[in-house]
């Protein structure tokens, strides 16, 4: 379980997150939506401390990760992250992208790591791509590899930062399909996305953010059909046609 309490984040004097409170239960899929600049990516990046919160606490399974004594590398091992720009390692083949951290960080045996890597490649449907370099793959393929790479650390939760925003439209669905599969398996996930149909389908709960605050959170059915706040209504009216 992840509990965020009174979280603030400022870049210099610009406040990006303001008094964020939320709880993410195990196995839950949370989708964060909101206009650009609303702080949704920053919130996600605070969850594995890619951004250091200015104030407040993030408690993961009873441990406050904003505590300076916490080994952040160990926390990150358990939190897989998938980026908008994939960020595959261009100098490593697909299988090495996936196996590197399990071998170097989790000290898995090479053979075991590669076996697991192949299983994950099958899962994302790219088994035959194991020995190619990322540059040769399409955006959708790269993002599926990036998901496999994150899963290889056997995380307890996955964070997705606009995983389909950099993709050509025809490649969006193959990536979303992989994420939906993960949701079915019960993976705890926090997803920042602009894909409203997907949000509705996969999310257990939708968080709407604006101006660095959580304006409203609810089940997809409620939030999309009966948004309570004017800002939510305004945002949804702009994107749902």
Residues forming contacts to other proteins in the complex (CB under 8 A) are 48, 50, 73-74, 76-77, 79-81, 83, 85, 87-91, 100-101, 104-106, 133, 135-136, 146, 149-150, 153
What is the smallest separation between the CB atom of 54 and other proteins, expressed in angstroms? 19
Of the pair 78, 180, the CB lying nearest other proteins is at 78
* CB atoms inside a 10 Å sphere around CB 129: 20
- Chain-centroid distance, C-alpha 116: 21
Q: How far apart are CA 155 and CA 121, in angstroms?
A: 16
What is the smallest separation between the CB atom of 145 and other proteins, expressed in angstroms? 12
Helix (H) / strand (E) element for 9: namely strand 2-11
Note whether 188 and 157 are within 8 A (CB). Answer: yes
What is the smallest separation between the CB atom of 150 and other proteins, expressed in angstroms? 7
Of the pair 78, 127, the CB lying nearest other proteins is at 78
Q: How far apart are CA 73 and CA 58, in angstroms?
A: 15
Of the pair 113, 223, the CB lying nearest other proteins is at 113
Nearest alpha carbon to residue 32 among 204, 221, 207: 207
Of the pair 161, 210, the CB lying nearest other proteins is at 161
What is the smallest separation between the CB atom of 110 and other proteins, expressed in angstroms? 15
Of the pair 88, 182, the CB lying nearest other proteins is at 88
Note whether 196 and 211 are within 8 A (CB). Answer: no
What is the smallest separation between the CB atom of 80 and other proteins, expressed in angstroms? 8
Q: How far is CA 231 from CA 22, 84, 169, 214, 216, in A?
A: 19, 26, 28, 11, 9
């Amino acid at each position: 379980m992840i509990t965020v309490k009174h979280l603030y984040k400022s870049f210099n004097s610009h406040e990006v997150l303001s008094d964020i409170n939320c709880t993410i239960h195990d196995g839950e899929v949370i989708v964060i939506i909101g206009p650009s600049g609303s702080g949704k990516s920053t919130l996600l990046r605070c969850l594995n401390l890619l951004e250091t919160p200015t104030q407040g606490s993030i408690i993961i399974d009873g441990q406050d990760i904003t505590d300076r004594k916490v080994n952040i590398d160990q926390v990150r091992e358990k939190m897989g992250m998938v980026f908008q720009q994939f960020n595959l390692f261009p100098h490593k083949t697909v299988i090495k992208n996936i196996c590197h951290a399990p071998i170097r960080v989790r000290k898995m045996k090479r053979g075991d790591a590669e076996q697991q890597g192949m299983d994950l490649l099958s899962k994302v449907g790219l088994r035959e791509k194991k020995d190619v370099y990322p540059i040769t793959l399409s955006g959708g393929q790269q993002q599926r590899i990036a998901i496999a790479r994150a899963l290889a650390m056997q995380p307890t939760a996955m964070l997705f930062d606009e995983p389909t925003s950099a993709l050509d439209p025809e490649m969006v669905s193959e990536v979303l399909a992989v994420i939906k599969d993960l949701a079915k398996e019960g993976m705890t996930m926090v997803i920042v996305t602009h894909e409203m149909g997907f949000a509705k389908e996969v999310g257990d709960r939708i968080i709407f953010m604006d101006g660095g605050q959580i304006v409203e959170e609810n089940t997809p059915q409620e939030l999309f059909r009966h948004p309570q706040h004017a800002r939510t209504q305004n945002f949804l009216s702009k994107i749902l046609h």
